[in-house]
Amino acid sequence: MFFFLQGLIIGISSMAPIGMQNLFVINTALAQTTMRVLITVAIVIFFDMTLSLSAFFGMGALITQFPLLKLLVMFFGGLLIMYMGYQTVRTEPTISNVDTNVPITKIISISFLVTWANPQALIDVTMMLGAFRASLSDSESYIFISGVMAAAIVWFGGLALVMRLLANKISISSLAWLNKICGTIILLYGIKLVYDAVMLMIN
C-alpha cells in the first residue's frame, strides 16, 4: 500500500501544476456539455497513462541490465526532479483562454502531440519515473506504477468534476497554490532519490 500511495502522490503532484493539459480540461469543464467533458478527460488520461507506462518500463528494462545506469539515473534523475520541483514552486501559472470548441478528432491529435511530441516532456517523465524505477524492486515497481495510473484518473477526473460543480464560484487563478504545494512534494522526493543514490555509492 505504501508504494501505491507513493505513486499516487507523485503522480498527482506532477500533474497538478497548471499547464496546457490542465487548462484544456478546466476550460472544457467550464464551457462544454457533460458528455464532451467526459470524452476530453478520458482522452487526456489515456495519453498520460501510455506515456507513464512507456517511460517507467522502458527505462526500467535498461536499468535492469546495467547497474551503473541505475545509479546514474537515480542521481541525475533526482537532481532533475529537484529542479522540476523548484521551478514549479516559483512559477506563477498563467491562465489563458483555450479554445475547447473543437472536433473530437482534433482533441485526440492535440492531446497526442502535447504528450508524445514534446521532447522536454518525454525527457522529464522518462527521467523522473526512471529514477523512481531505479529505487524500487520489481514487485514494488508494479505497485508504484499502479498508483501513478490511478493518479491520472483521480486528478483529471476530480479537476473536471470540481470545475463543473463550482463553475460560477471558483477563480481559476486561485489554483496557483497548487503549484507551490506540488512543487514542494516533488522537490522533497528528488532530494530523497539523490540521497539514496549517494548512499549506494558510499556502500
Residues in the chain: 203
Angle (nearest 5°) at CA 81 between 78 and 87: 145
φ, ψ of residue 103 in degrees (nearest 5): -60, 155
> Stretch 135-156: mean pLDDT, rounded?
92
> Stretch 17-21: mean pLDDT, rounded?
66
- Looking at mean pLDDT, say which of 82-91, 177-186, 190-199 comes out highest: 190-199
Q: Which residue has the cell 496546457?
A: 20
Grid cell, residue 98, equals: 483555450
In 113-167, where do the E strands start and end?
none
Residue 21: count other Cβ atoms within 10 Å of its Cβ.
21
pLDDT for residue 86 is more than 80: yes
Q: What is the pLDDT of residues 32-78, one digit of tens each?
A: 788 888 998 999 899 989 989 988 888 777 776 777 877 887 888 78
Q: In angstroms, rounded to a whole number, what is the distance separating the alpha carbons of residues 199 and 201?
A: 5
pLDDT value, residue 168: 65
For 15-34, give the DSSP string.
Answer: H-S--HHHHHHHHHHHHS-H
pLDDT value, residue 153: 95
Task: Categorize the per-residue pLDDT at 175 as very low, low, confident or very high, splitting at 50, 70 and 90.
Answer: low
Give the chain's mean pLDDT. Answer: 80
Are 79 and 189 in contact by the 8 Å Cβ rule? The answer is: no
Task: Categorize the per-residue pLDDT at 134 as very low, low, confident or very high, splitting at 50, 70 and 90.
Answer: confident
Q: Please list, residue by residue across 111-122, b when 16 or more beta carbons sit within 10 angstroms of its beta carbon and e when fewer do.
A: beebbeeeeebe
pLDDT value, residue 93: 59
> Stretch 77-85: mean pLDDT, rounded?
81
Q: In angstroms, rounded to a whole number, what is the distance separating the alpha carbons of residues 180 and 3?
A: 23
pLDDT for residue 196 is more than 90: no
**Residue 160 CB contacts under 8 Å (≥ 6 apart), including other chains:** 25, 26, 28, 29, 37, 38, 40, 41
Task: Categorize the per-residue pLDDT at 106 as very low, low, confident or very high, splitting at 50, 70 and 90.
Answer: confident
pLDDT value, residue 120: 58
Q: What is the pTM of this model?
A: 0.74
pLDDT for residue 154 is more than 90: yes
